[in-house]
Amino acid sequence: MDESFLDAGFLFSWASDPFFWVGWDESFEEKLPRLYCPDFFLSGNLWKQFRVVKKIPKNEVGSWIEALQVHAAVPIWEGKGPSWERFQENFFDLKRRFQGGLQKGVLIECQESLLQVQKSYKAFWILCLLKRCLGLHCYGTWNLKEGILGASPESLFQMRSGVLSTVALAGTKPQGMSDADFLKAPKERREHHLVVEGIISSLKDCGKLKIGPTEVLPLASLSHLRTGIELELEKEADFCDLVQRLHPTPALGAFPQQEGRSFLLEQEKKVPRARFGAPFGLLQEGESQCVVAIRNLQWTQKGVFLMAGCGITEESRLESEWEEVLVKMASVRAYFQNAWEI
């Protein structure tokens, strides 16, 4: 590997896999594995191919990056946002929509900086993720103009040997609440139930569904409700068809989907998501994996953007949801060694 990996490349690792997929030297040749990385609304260039693709053991990736001798600590930079005023306005607008049939929506807030990302920063951020994001799905892709890098707790799907696995991940434990109380909390249970219901509705005509128990997923600074879902496929499924069925789940979009579409499009005018919450996956021979692109940094030639969202239902309280957004943003800053000053 050479420094061209940091000019235009990708990395991807399923949490339970012992290796990373890495690639560089972007190509127009259609071959496997292929990287799927659209924006949230599934527009733009959906697929990327790379001339060089390698599978590297996780315990070797750090030394592999360090051998390039280009990583350097990112200077602390000042950020703008998130906007409390905008969040309040969007919160009460969404609450009014519940009178028209919408049951859940996700609000997004953003911090941004004018920092110009350099090659050495990408290397440093990758090393940070390797140290801090065990048990998460690590992902990223970039070129000389833009990029995304993150570690997500949420999978959209994994498809292998005729079985599709996915998860409903929704509901964030308030600070100070026990796991037992969290599992019974009315607002969190309802929010989580709507996500489970949305996924079941999307997949019910594709085969036999198996719904697992709802459990608490503990992360470094957050805990979520998690329900595993498996589907025995009746026939071979196409990667893009699965994405169209599942994305966005109510965990990142709205429920019901049809009523929520106009809400999501209006929110996009206020806080453009780009790839935040979008599907990010790898199509391989005989297997495919796709994560939900949350807990990340995105960057363009205009600067760096950190986003976080929260699920709003009829029971939601403004201050609690705002606190959830701040906690999620803090967790992402910790991934990247707290290199952001608010």
Q: Averaged over 11-31, what is the pLDDT?
A: 94
- Residue 148: both structure tokens together: 């995304």
Buried b (16+ CB within 10 A) or exposed e, 222-244: bbbbbbbbbbebeeebebeebbe
Is 273:115 a contact under the CB 8 Å cutoff? no
pLDDT of 338: 59
Give CA–CA dist 83/12, Å, rounded: 32
pLDDT tens column, 87-133? 999 999 999 999 999 999 999 999 999 999 999 999 999 999 998 88
Q: How many CB atoms sit inside 10 A of residue 258's CB?
A: 10
Give CA–CA dist 120/287, Å, rounded: 33
pLDDT tens column, 163-194? 999 999 999 999 899 999 999 999 999 999 99
pLDDT of 341: 47
Buried b (16+ CB within 10 A) or exposed e, 188-197: bbbbbbbbbb
pTM above 0.75, yes or no: yes
- Please choose, from the candidates 233, 191, 232, the residue with its C-alpha nearest in 3D space to the C-alpha of residue 210: 232
- Residue 118: both structure tokens together: 């350099």
| pLDDT > 70 fraction of the chain, expressed in percent and rounded | 99
Confidence class of residue 1 from pLDDT cuts 50, 70 and 90? confident
| pLDDT > 90 fraction of the chain, expressed in percent and rounded | 83
pLDDT of 244: 96
Task: Tell me the backbone φ, ψ of residue 286, rounded to 5 degrees.
Answer: 80, 5
For residue 279, say if its preceding peptide bond is cis, omega within 30 degrees of 0.
Answer: no
Contacts with 258 (C-beta within 8 Å, 6 or more apart), sequence order = none
pLDDT tens column, 217-242? 999 889 999 999 999 999 889 999 99
Q: Give the start-to-end residue ranges of the domains of the chain.
A: 4-341
Indicate the residue type of 303: G
Tokens 């998130």 found at: 82
Please give the residue that has the higher pLDDT: either 202 or 29: 202
pLDDT over threshold 80, residue 336:
yes
CA angle (77, 333, 219) in 5-degree steps? 175
Task: Tell me the backbone φ, ψ of residue 6, rounded to 5 degrees.
Answer: -85, -10
- In whole numbers, what is the pLDDT of the chain averaged over residues? 94
Confidence class of residue 30 from pLDDT cuts 50, 70 and 90? confident
Give CA–CA dist 193/196, Å, rounded: 5
pLDDT of 216: 97
- Please choose, from the candidates 16, 64, 15, 8, the residue with its C-alpha nearest in 3D space to the C-alpha of residue 37: 8
pLDDT tens column, 112-122? 999 999 999 99
Give the DSSP H/E element, type plus range, for residue 24.
strand 19-27
Give CA–CA dist 256/218, Å, rounded: 28
Give CA–CA dist 222/171, Å, rounded: 10
Indicate the residue type of 86: R
Give CA–CA dist 336/342, Å, rounded: 15
What three-state secondary structure class fits 320?
Answer: helix
- Please choose, from the candidates 12, 25, 56, the residue with its C-alpha nearest in 3D space to the C-alpha of residue 284: 12
Tokens 């990029």 found at: 147
When the candidates are 3.20.20.70, 3.40.50.300, 3.60.120.10, 3.30.70.1230, the CATH number that belongs to 4-341 is: 3.60.120.10
- Residue 158: both structure tokens together: 């994994």
Q: How far is CA 290 from CA 101, 158, 190, 287, in A?
A: 30, 6, 26, 10
* H helix runs in the chain, sequence order: 4-7, 58-66, 84-97, 119-132, 179-184, 186-203, 239-246, 257-270, 318-335
Give the orientation angle of helix 257-270 with respect to helix 84-97, to 10 degrees.
160
Give CA–CA dist 177/181, Å, rounded: 6
Give CA–CA dist 272/175, Å, rounded: 29
Please give the residue that has the higher pLDDT: either 258 or 83: 83
